[in-house]
Amino acid sequence: MSHMSKDEKLRDELALFGDGVLAYIKPISVDDARNIIGEIDEIPNGIKLFCLFSANGTPLAISDSHKTAFNSAIEHDLEPTRLH
Checking if the pLDDT of 20 tops 60, the result is yes
Task: Tell me if 76 sits within 8 A of 25, measured CB to CB.
Answer: no
Checking if the pLDDT of 23 tops 60, the result is yes
- Confidence grade of residue 2 (pLDDT, cut at 50, 70, 90): low
Segment 25-84, tens digit of pLDDT? 999 999 899 899 887 777 787 889 999 998 888 899 999 999 999 999 999 899 887 665
Please report, to the nearest 10 degrees, the dihedral formed by the alpha carbons of residues 39, 50, 36, 3 taken in order.
130
Is the full-model pTM beyond 0.75?
A: no
**Domain ranges (residues) in the chain:** 16-82
